[in-house]
Each structure stands twice: as structure tokens, then as C-alpha cells.
Amino acid sequence: MSLRYHDPRSLSPGAVRLPWDRHRVTLLVTSVVLLATVPLAAWSIGFTPFAVLDGLGDIRNLIGRMLPISWTNLPRLLVLLWETFLIAVAGTTLAVALSVPIAFCAARNTTPSRWLYGPARGIIAVTRAIPDLVFAIILVRALGLGALAGALALALNSIGMLGKLYADAIEDIDPAPVDAMRSSGAGQLQTISTAVFPQTLPTVVGVGLYRLDINVRTSPVLGLVGAGGIGMELQNTLRQLRYDRGLAIVVLIFVLIVVVERVSHAVRSSVIGGQDQREGRLAELVRSLEGRRADRRGHRLVMPWTPTRAGQGMAMVTLGALLVASFRQLDITLTDLVAAVPRTLAMMRSMFPPDFVTGIDASLSGLFETLMIAIVATFCGVLLSIPLALLGARTTAYNRLTAALARYGVVGVRGIPELILAIVFVAAVGLGPLAGALALSVGTIGLSAKLMMDALEEVPTAPLQAVASTGASHGQVVAGAVVPQVVPSFVGTVLYQLDVNLRGSVILGIVGAGGIGFLLQNSVRQLQYDRTAAMLIMIFLVVYGIERLSTWLRGRLAVAR
């Protein structure tokens, strides 16, 4: 969408106008519908201004009881923190190893058969829709307490994200290396390993490292359901009203998340590189494939060991070494992994047929409450994110100091998992959806503010310069030339955040913060697996429906940017 303006000298801040078309109408209707649902959602869960003000007072009192921090028994906490990190590493590396073959089956240009394409896409959809903590609850019941259940829970949930992004990357590859391999007479498997996989390896590594960031945030809360790590220690500490020691645990988790995020970001940047580096790797691959027909030995095409290919081999060896090292440290053996498969399948068989009759009213009520928490948290979190994004983005910041403070604030919020925030808010304001909505609102700020900052920094600068040349103030430039350009992107962020928050709100009930999570956990504890399956199917349908609607709307809004 273009901005209509003429001679910059004739412009005033109010002269920049976006044309009305069907995409802008879609944007307006979407915004109105989203805003209209917020009051209903807030009223249904008791999220009123008075309740929030009272809650803030309770939180202030809780913070007072957390200080000064108690670092008693620090060595034990560090051991548990290290175990938490290893669970994230094991779950992520296992997920990458499983996601790559699933992605090749789920990509249209590499799937061996259309009979494999559908099931592969189905696996990706189901694992994306079910939260990792729900997997952990089920696996703890099937496999027992410990790190094995936690690592497998993270792996299963990660397959949804990794498989989708890997499949998309495979479908977007450059066909030239593939054509070169096929012209040499290579088979399907060798074409994939030599011409397709090298192009997708940077995505495999980069997205895998990003998923490690997510899993490091998630792994501390797995202990809440007995899946290993420091989460159980945090919950027990808060139950004993040892808030000073609880704050020490939260600080350790925060430091771990921030350190892993920064290291992961640096490694991703070096592996993926810029556009020139990616084009150089592609050219090197094409050159190495040209004229290789003469080097065939039998039915096998011999490929040269280029620096890129050597790097790819090292990456795969490193992946395997990480998996082995983390499992050794966690005392997980190959026998344990093999034995986990039939035990998990046996539990899954006991879930069918699902029971949609017993407790259906409570399940529907819990699911509705979950959806309302997600809507309220999305609205409040995004509302708080907008000023942070405007202060932190280089195109709209007043000065470097405010930009740095805003960015550090976003990093700080991102360093505390939502479920840990929920535990704290439950301790402050009591059980119920109010605590869940407050926790998820704060958690929303980290992701939403970052996405909004990125959108603000990507706007074309010509309209800004045009408005500034009229003598407009900083605020007028932002209001007249920046905001109109990013409104579609911001609405898209709201839709994406609603999708994320719906998954997050499912598990809040596990710590008493409202929603269907409490019912889900109780059904597993009471061995009512048929009810568990029914609730999981309902959760999947709602999450998948919201995801598809959100994706469709974001696609329509992308045209309006």
C-alpha cells in the first residue's frame, strides 16, 4: 500500500493519508471485531479496573516479602538449573533429529508419496496445537517422574514448529542444484542429501537454535508436573511461603534464559549470515554439482568435500554429540528411549474412545475461560507493548538512552516464563483467571514489543523525511508518517499473539490461574484418560481454528502494509 503525498514543502502532518481499499476495510473490520470482544472477555473472567488495582496492591506486598533475596543452598539450585538446561538441549536436539525427516515428507517437492504427505502434515498440526506442559503431564503418568518425560515433552511439542518451518524452507529452495543432480542421473535420496539438504541446513541450525531459546524458557516449568528441572523446587518454595528464596530461583532462571538467548543469537548470525553469504554458498553448491556425471562409481555419485560440505558434516556431528552428552548427563539411556515408545502408546490407546459426555459442561466452561483469558491478556499486553516499541525502535525513539532502556525492559520481561509469572500472581492475588490474565498480559509484552519494534524499524523512511521537512515535531512525524504504515503490521501482531496466548492460557490452570488446565491435569491424575482425550481434541480444534483464522487474516493484512 502506498502513501499519497506530493511536494514535501506543501505537506503538513495531517496531509499523509492512506487510500481506502478492500484490504484497509478488512483491517478496519478486524480491528473493530477484536476490540468488541475484549469487554465481554474481561467481564466474563472478572478482569475489572478495581480488581486489577487491588491485585497490584497485593503484588506490591508480595514483592516486599521477597526482599532481601535468600541464596541459601545455592549449590543445589545450580545443579537443578543445569539439569533444566540439559533437558532443553536434549529435547531440542531430539526434536531436530525427528523433524528433519518429517519435514521432507511434509514438503511437496520432496515427499516420497502423497500417502506420507498428509500424515506428516497432521503430525505437525497436532504437536503444534498441544502445549508442551500437557505433553509433560501425560508422559509423566506414562513414564514416571524425571527428566526423560521432560525431554520427550519438549521434543514432541517442538516438532510442530520445527517441522512446519523446515518444510516451508524445503519448498522454497532454489531448484538449480536439484536439476543439476537429476541431470547427472542421481536418485531421489541422493538428490535430497546432496542438493536439497545443504540449502536447508542454515535454516535447520538457525531455527533449531531459536527453538532452543523457547525450550530453555519452557523447561523450568516442566518440574511443576514432575518432569525434572528446577520448576518443582520453585513451586515447593512458594508453597512454603519462602518468597525470598523463590525470588532467587526466578533470578537464576532469568540469567539462564538471557545468557542462552544471547549466545544462540550470536551463533545463528554466524551460521545463517547475510544474503551475500547465502548466495555464495548456493553458487558453490551449483559449481560443485556441474559436470559430476563423469565421477560416478557404480550407482553412487561422488561429491567433492568443499568447505561448505565439511561444515555441514561438522554440524551433524555436533548435533549428535549434543544429544548423547545431554542424555548421559541426565542419565537417560537408549534403552529408556526405546522402552518409552510402547509405554506411551499403551497410554494413548487407553484414551480412546474419548468421553465427550462426562463433565462436558465443566470442560466447555474451562475452554471458554481459557479463550477469554487469552483475549484479555492479548489486548492488555499489546496495549502496554505499543509505547515500549515506540520508545525502543530506532525510527521512533526520542534518544539512544530511552531506546536502550526500552529494549532492556523487553529483554527482562522475555526472561521470565509466563507460567512462573502465573505462580507469582496466584501467590499474590489468589486462585482464578485474574491471576492468569495478569501473568499472560505481562508475558505478552516481551514478544509483542519485539515484533512491533521490528515493524517500526522496517518502515520506508521517505514519508518520515517528507513530514519532517515541513517542520513537524517528533511526535507529529511519528503520528503522521510512521503509525499509518505500521497499523496493518500491528494488527497482524495482535492476531499472532492471540494465537500464541491461546496455547499459553491452556496450561495456566495447572497452577490455579484459571482455564481448562486444572481439569486436564485432574483427569490424568484420576486416570480418566478418555476425558483427557476429549479435552485435548477440543483444545486442538479451538487452537487450530484460531490459528487458521489468524493466518488467513494476517495474509489479507499483509497486502495492506
Q: What pTM does this model have?
A: 0.79
Mean pLDDT of 489-509: 84
Banded pLDDT at 311 (limits 50, 70, 90)? low
- Asked whether residue 298 carries a pLDDT value surpassing 50, the answer given is no
The residues, ordered by sequence, that sit 6+ positions from 349 with a Cβ below 8 Å of its Cβ are: none
Residues 189-212 as b/e (b if ≥16 CB within 10 A, e otherwise) read: ebbbebbbbbbbbbbbbbbbbbbb
SS3 category, 290: coil
Mean per-residue pLDDT over the chain, rounded: 78
Banded pLDDT at 373 (limits 50, 70, 90)? very high
Looking at residue 200, its pLDDT comes to: 78
- Asked whether residue 320 carries a pLDDT value surpassing 60, the answer given is yes
Looking at residue 372, its pLDDT comes to: 92
Least confident of 269-273, 362-366, 473-477: 269-273
Looking at residue 55, its pLDDT comes to: 76
Cis peptide leading into residue 198 (ω within 30°) = no
Looking at residue 254, its pLDDT comes to: 86
Pick from 231, 272, 285: nearest CA to 84: 231
Mean pLDDT of 195-224: 80
Q: Are 47 and 434 in contact (CB under 8 A)?
A: yes
Residue of higher predicted confidence among 2 and 115: 115
d(Cα 129, Cα 127) in Å, to the nearest integer?
6
pLDDT in tens, 234-265: 878 877 878 888 888 888 988 888 888 887 77
Looking at residue 296, its pLDDT comes to: 44
SS3 category, 350: coil
Mean pLDDT of 348-366: 87
Residue 4 DSSP one-character state? B
Mean pLDDT of 201-209: 78
d(Cα 210, Cα 201) in Å, to the nearest integer?
14
pLDDT in tens, 76-100: 889 888 888 989 988 998 898 899 8
Mean pLDDT of 540-544: 86
- Asked whether residue 553 carries a pLDDT value surpassing 80, the answer given is no
CATH architecture of 16-45+355-558: Orthogonal Bundle (1.10)
Mean pLDDT of 31-57: 82
pLDDT in tens, 283-296: 544 555 444 544 44
Q: Are 180 and 195 in contact (CB under 8 A)?
A: yes
* Same CATH fold assignment for domains 16-45+355-558 and 74-349: yes
Banded pLDDT at 2 (limits 50, 70, 90)? very low
The dihedral through the CA atoms of 137, 138, 143, 147 has a sign that is negative
Banded pLDDT at 22 (limits 50, 70, 90)? low
pLDDT in tens, 453-469: 888 877 777 777 777 77
CATH architecture of 74-349: Orthogonal Bundle (1.10)
Mean pLDDT of 105-128: 85
Looking at residue 276, its pLDDT comes to: 45
In the chain, what are the domain boundaries? 16-45+355-558, 74-349
Mean pLDDT of 121-137: 85
d(Cα 368, Cα 517) in Å, to the nearest integer?
12
Measured CA angle at 87 (ends 272, 443), to 5 deg:
75
- Asked whether residue 181 carries a pLDDT value surpassing 70, the answer given is no
Looking at residue 24, its pLDDT comes to: 63
Looking at residue 415, its pLDDT comes to: 79
Pairing mode, if any, of strands 300-301 and 296-297?
Answer: antiparallel
The residues, ordered by sequence, that sit 6+ positions from 273 with a Cβ below 8 Å of its Cβ are: 202
Looking at residue 16, its pLDDT comes to: 46
Banded pLDDT at 309 (limits 50, 70, 90)? low
Looking at residue 14, its pLDDT comes to: 47
- Asked whether residue 275 carries a pLDDT value surpassing 70, the answer given is no
